[in-house]
Amino acid sequence: MATILTVSASPSTHSKTARTRSVVDAYLTEAGHTVTALDVRDLPASALLSADHTDPAIAAAVELFESADGVVVATPVYKASFSGLLKTLLDLLPQRALAGKVVLPLATGGTLAHVLVLDYALRPVLTALGSPVIVQGHFLLDHTITVDAGNGRAAFTADSENSLRRAVDSFVRELGYRVPVPVAA
């Protein structure tokens, strides 16, 4: 089974993006994969903003990317782009940090007008970081996600849940077919 890093780029612990990432974590864990969750908001702001690679938390985050077979990146959409928090994290990664890795981009937002963020804003950055396989990104409208008051878990409309599961299944299939490529030092 694969080692998967899931990243939430939401500044809020209670966001629909973070909760969606948690649901994806559960799907992947149920399928037998080893999942490590990274909440970018928990990294030290000063070290993140100054790209301080000597900071232990930043070094650990970079190591999580290096050791993963696949990466799921979940971001809210702000001002027609992915979160600045995500951009800051991606900027401090090594140039080929995603080489040999399968990536699933996920985004949440308030309007379908923001769906293009996946292909026109996020995909080019993920490609520049060397990912050979970026599966079709998935966008979830905020109004299709509710939060269960009892357990705080995200719940989706039937269509949204089915499409999210299909996106995760596609990601898992690509992980299964991927042939590891050695990365030159």
Q: Report the 10 Å Cβ neighbour count for 49.
A: 12
pLDDT given for residue 95 in this prediction: 94
pTM for the predicted model, two decimal places = 0.93
Alpha helical stretches, state H, 32-157:
45-49, 56-67, 84-92, 117, 123-128
Per-residue pLDDT tens digits of the chain, which is 185 residues long: 999 999 999 999 889 999 999 999 999 999 999 999 999 999 999 999 999 999 999 999 999 999 999 999 999 998 889 999 999 999 999 999 999 999 999 999 999 889 999 999 999 999 999 999 999 999 999 999 998 888 888 999 999 999 999 999 999 999 986 555 555 55
81 CB neighbour count, 10 Å cutoff: 17
Nearest Cα neighbor of 163 from 133, 135, 139, 132 is: 139
Helix (H) or strand (E) holding 119: none
pLDDT of residue 182: 54
Residues 2, 106, 146, 44, Cα dihedral to 10°: 80
